[in-house]
Amino acid sequence: MDWTNLYQPRIATAEEAIRKVKSGDRIFLTGNVSIPSKLLAALVDYAPKLKDVEICHALTVGSADYVGPEMEGHLRVNTLFIGHNVRQAVQSGKADFTPVLLSEFPLLFKNDVLPVDVALIHVSPPDEHGFCSLGVEVGLTKSVASAAKLTIAEVNQQMPRTLGDSFIHVSKIDNLVPVDYPLPELPMGDGEPSEVVNKIAAYCAELIPDGATMQMGIGAIPDAVLKFLFDKKDLGVHTELFSDGVIDLVNAGVLTNAHKTLHPGKIVAGFILGTQRLYDWVDDNPLCEFHPTEYVNDPFVIAQNARQVAINAAIEIDLTGQVCADSIGPKLFSGVGGQLDFVYGASRSEGGVPIIALPSTAKGDEISRIVPMLNQGAGVVTTRNHVHFIVTEYGVADLYGKTIRQRARALIDIAHPKFRPELEKAAKELHYL
């Protein structure tokens, strides 16, 4: 059947489409900078007519109306990664959090652990064959959109047409809502990196060999590292997400992907977070291949890249090497994301370099992030069995294959000098030293 015959009858306004949501439904909301904000606003307006609707998503940006107190009994958020806009609601018990590895996020929905009634997604206009690109968020959305009983898409003139395994055919979309607005921006880091972040980034860069394939996690440090790589040769990218930093490395001829052992010549990713410059750059750009996250983040896929480097951040680390990255004590802060997927994938890659990078202190040097024991209630994201390199502004600790005694020594040596005596004392009391 000619797809253009399907298209016209499926066009709806956001308000019309949202009326198909029923009480008791589970909604999947595509997220990151792909948030379908017209559909979300229509859902918030319609919510008083609904009871007990669950809305599942990962990181979202923008308005938190849908998690406000007036939604109680109508809409309840179940987030699988805690972003800024829902953090307060999760921490006060007004919204739910489901911990899951990013590599397994789509599988929860696809395999009916969390069956989806309605998927709200955001796509580019269809091409001549009727395929819409999932644009800036392919990884978490592709499989879930196909698994949902009902799929409603905003079709945005300004959604870039990204390439790869990134398309959905209009025949698979029940309602199409035409929109035309710019995507929200989420640059990594607030302006220029601090001196501490630059020092950490420079140490990370020393660990990165020519021909490495890079993953950059979320936060200021991973993106800052890119600025220290201009003297490297033939780097590549295989990552769940990337940001604006890659463009300059490509333009400088450093990021060629030439020595990648999997998908040579291509940047492979699940989604992007950044500015309009990045969104324009990925549009119809055959250098970038987007894939579902259950593929990109599968540690055994990652491991097929030789010299895979993983750079992720942390909140604190104990002297045995347990890395907390998703909570501040018992206060849930974010989620595992792809950290463990990439730490383990890089660990299994030939010549791989898994790095956890963090400033030695928090709260204006009041708190050491290297601690004898994790804060009570802190969540372990990277276990002490998985951990390899730890980097602070004071240097690098290589924990892999090291005893607890060696780990404690190496970590104290890269702690802030003002905390080293008390860490040493605690390590002795714990019989680590």
Enumerate binding residues for ligand COA (CB under 6 A). Answer: 217-221, 312-316, 325-326, 328, 333-334, 336-339, 362-363, 367, 369, 381
Please check whether residue 239 is in contact with residue 269, taking contact to mean a CB–CB distance below 8 angstroms.
Answer: yes
How near is the Cβ of 236 to ligand COA at its closest, in Å?
19
Instruction: Give the pairing of strands 53-57 and 175-179.
Output: unpaired
- Helices 420-429 and 404-413 cross at an angle (nearest 10°) of 170
DSSP 216-263: E-SSHHHHHHHTT-TT--SBEEEEEEE-THHHHHHHTT-B--TT-SSS
Catalytic residue selected from 240, 294, 316, 393: 240
d(CA 216, CA 253): 19
Tell me whether residue 240 is one of the annotated catalytic residues: yes
DSSP state of 255: B
Q: Which residues of 53-75 are buried (b: 16+ CB within 10 A; e: fewer)?
A: bbbbbbbbbeebbbbeeebeebb
Which residue lies nearer to ligand COA by CB, 160 or 338?
Answer: 338
Shorter beta-carbon distance to ligand COA: residue 173 or 415: 415
Q: How far is the CB of 370 from ligand COA (least distance, A)?
A: 9
Instruction: Name which of 197 and 303 has its Cβ closer to ligand COA.
Output: 197
Residue 268 makes CB contacts below 8 A (sequence gap 6+) with: 164, 237, 238, 239, 262, 289, 290, 291, 296
Per-residue DSSP letter, 218: S
Give the shortest CB-39-to-ligand COA separation in angstroms. Answer: 24
Minimum Å distance from CB 115 to ligand COA? 25
Shortest distance in whole angstroms from residue 221 CB to ligand COA: 6
Using Cβ positions, the residue closest to ligand COA within the complex turns out to be: 337
Residue keyed to tokens 């397994």: 104
Q: Using the minimum distance from each CB to ligand COA, give the nearer residue, 243 or 312.
A: 312
Q: Nearer Cβ to ligand COA, position 177 or 380?
A: 380
State the catalytic residues: 240
